[in-house]
Amino acid sequence: AGANVGLSFGLNYVLALSSISADGTRYPTSSMMVRIAAVGRIALGPAELQPHAGYALQTFVISNAPSGPPRPNVPGVSYGALRFGLGARVKVYGPLSLTAGAAYQVPLSTGEIGQPTFFRRLKVSGFDANLGLVFAVTRSIEVRGGIDYTRYWFSMNPEPGDPYIAG
């Protein structure tokens, strides 16, 4: 039974990222994603299901330029979220497998965008999905390639007198 339960950890960090305003000013920008989860494995012949539950953190922040005007009035986001999902892996041929998965995210924090300066009554939810190919080099080493899709949606809930209005 212990062989069918484990931990998953993932980290994505974007290097040398900058945002450019309409006047050509470059602003240092950072973006990263961290995920950690408890994962189960349910074998179904040549396939397996992988339910998981954990925590995800995704950030995107524009900083002040080293010289020049202050950063644009664009709020940074920092989604700290509970994440619940299901993955699948199907053996295609020999060492080649296909993977797919989806997860729902329940954000616990939003970063600047959810502060009183921007949208204090903000409600946000998230979803992510992935599709990939896995080539097993050895029993414990794999080469993976794939695509990920992440989407957050918002209800801004503005009221008269709020500094910003968005639907």
- Residue ranges of the chain with per-residue pLDDT less than 50: none
* pLDDT tens readout for residues 111-122: 999 998 899 899
Q: Are 58 and 76 in contact (CB under 8 A)?
A: no
Question: What does the pLDDT read at residue 164?
Answer: 87
Question: What does the pLDDT read at residue 70?
Answer: 87
CA–CA gap between residue 64 and residue 26 (Å, rounded): 9
Sequence-separated (6 or more) residues with CB below 8 Å from residue 65: 25, 26, 27, 28, 71
Question: What does the pLDDT read at residue 23?
Answer: 87
Q: pTM for the whole thing?
A: 0.85
Question: What does the pLDDT read at residue 138?
Answer: 95
